[in-house]
Chains A and B, each alone.
Chain A
Amino acid sequence: MNTSVRNILRFILIISLQVLILNKINLRWWSQPNGFPVFVPYVYPLFILLLPFEAPVWLLLVIGFATGITMDSFSNTAGLHAFATVLIAYLRTNVLNALMPKNLSEYPNQTPSVKNMGWVPFLVYSSFLILVHHIAYFTIEVWSLANIGYLLLKIFASAITSILFIIVYVLLFTRQNTYRG
């Protein structure tokens, strides 16, 4: 399948997963939370994480902005998701360069995945960017450090859940034997 078609399909899949299911379920880590925040895991940055290796930074930024604005129109947060997503789209290339043994241009037609990165680098890559995304998002959303414990609790609860969902996604959508472009 063509790379752009594959990515458009993945965009539709991930955004609908986020908007129609995850945004509706307000998670809590235990049943009777005394002051524990109600939170939503944000899995849609996974779309940015799974774009091909050799995608130029300007394209990543534009795609990141478009993804963020799409999420913003669904959740009435004009600009919040866009800000966080553009931030991770910008950092993505640097993180990948630091983690990969070879130059990024030497992986033609490949996307970051467990198969060609290994579990540990892939998890470091995705959890770092997800954490950056969540810190940026929730800090701007709450926009006060008056209740910093609450803010940190919300960031980490949401980030850990998002990473769990990403692991599930990767386990579900990685084909075992065939080559995956």
Chain B
Amino acid sequence: MRNFLLFIRRFFNLILFIVLETISIVLIARTNTMQGNDVMSSANTAVGLMYKQQNDVVYYFGLKRMNDNLLNENARLRQLIAANSSTYDTLKDSTVKRPLVSSDSLHVIKYADYYYRTARVINNSVSAANNYITINRGSADGVGKGMAVISGNGIVGKVEHVSAHFSSILSVLSVKQKVSVHLKDGSTSVVEWDGTRPDVLVMKDVPQQIKVYRGDSVFTTTYSFYPPDVLVGTVYATSSVKKSGLQLLYLRPASNFRNLQYVYVVENKLSAERKQLEDSIKTK
């Protein structure tokens, strides 16, 4: 026993060093399984408050750009409304084509019910291997883990930590998050980030016979937790992999991650039910 105590006293520094490094490694390993703890994240109240103070100061420098973004988004939404409520020329064609509207609510199959919340970005990063964004909305405002986050231009990420008034979002610029996407012709694939440049996303495993041109848009699918048909990015380069006969697409992300200002947190009210069903199949 005495020898043991002497041993500890002699190598106390080394033992402490190893203990602290082990704690760090355990913490790193735990976050890599997507189940991080909420206390040590920027959703933590003290950290969130500090970021909020800082953002209140620098907020005004981005107002001009933010206005432009909102105008563009408004224009796009107005176009969408105009496309859906086009007037029909009844004189020319007596059989008016109207979209089918089922008035009987029993026959409507509803697979998603989205609720949008606005939030302000108070901290943002693009240089790490897993980038996080902190927003000023938390569980008190109805934000929950796993909700999708989009900006006016395109997808942003997924809510990972939530506190009462802040939450932190794992951005698409992360090596541990993949997004299910589809091209214009409906062929689906997966978009991921290779961890290097914040303005390049990679879309893998697109068959060679699908013709893809520069400037083609890529959208989210209904499989993912994102609302369907949100812009992910536009193709700016393609390269073919000789061995597998597949091609690799390089995308410019639709949202500018360097200067995010406002985002929407999208809650799908039916996602819990859907996830439960999908998990129950997996466990069998």
Measured CB to CB, the residues of A under 8 A from B are 19-20, 23-24, 26, 33, 35, 37-40, 57-58, 61-62, 64-65, 68-69, 72-80, 82-83, 86-87, 90, 140-143, 147, 150
Contacts and interface: CB of A to CB of B under 8 A. Distances in A.
Given A38-B197, A61-B13, A68-B24, A78 B40 contact: yes
Contact of B129 (A26, A57, A141): A141
B127 A61 contact: no
Contacts of B31: 77-79
A33 B198 CA distance: 12
Nearest to A61: B16
Contacts of A141: 128-129
20 contacts: A26-B126, A37-B197, A38-B198, A40-B125, A40-B128, A58-B16, A61-B16, A64-B20, A73-B40, A73-B44, A74-B47, A75-B42, A76-B130, A78-B28, A79-B24, A79-B27, A79-B31, A83-B25, A141-B129, A142-B129
A147 B129 CA distance: 13
A79 B20 CA distance: 10
Contact of A86 (B24, B40, B198): B24
Contacts of A62: 16, 20
Interface string B10-45: 001100110011011111101100001101111010
What DSSP secondary structure best describes chain A's contact surface? helix
Contact of B27 (A35, A64, A78): A78
Nearest to A158: B127
Given A69-B40, A75-B132, A141-B128, A35 B196 contact: yes
Nearest to A15: B50
A166 to B, nearest CB: 19
Contacts of B36: 76, 78
Nearest to B53: A20
A148 B161 CA distance: 31
A80 B28 contact: yes
Contacts of B16: 57-58, 61-62
Contacts of A39: 127
B261 interface: no
A75 B20 contact: no
A83 to B, nearest CB: 4
B54 interface: yes
A76 B168 contact: yes
9 residue pairs, one from A and one from B, having the closest CB atoms: A79-B27, A83-B24, A76-B132, A79-B28, A79-B24, A57-B13, A82-B24, A78-B27, A38-B127
B104 to A, nearest CB: 48
A69 B31 CA distance: 14
Q: Interface centre among B12, B21, B54, B258, by most A CB within 10 Å?
A: B21
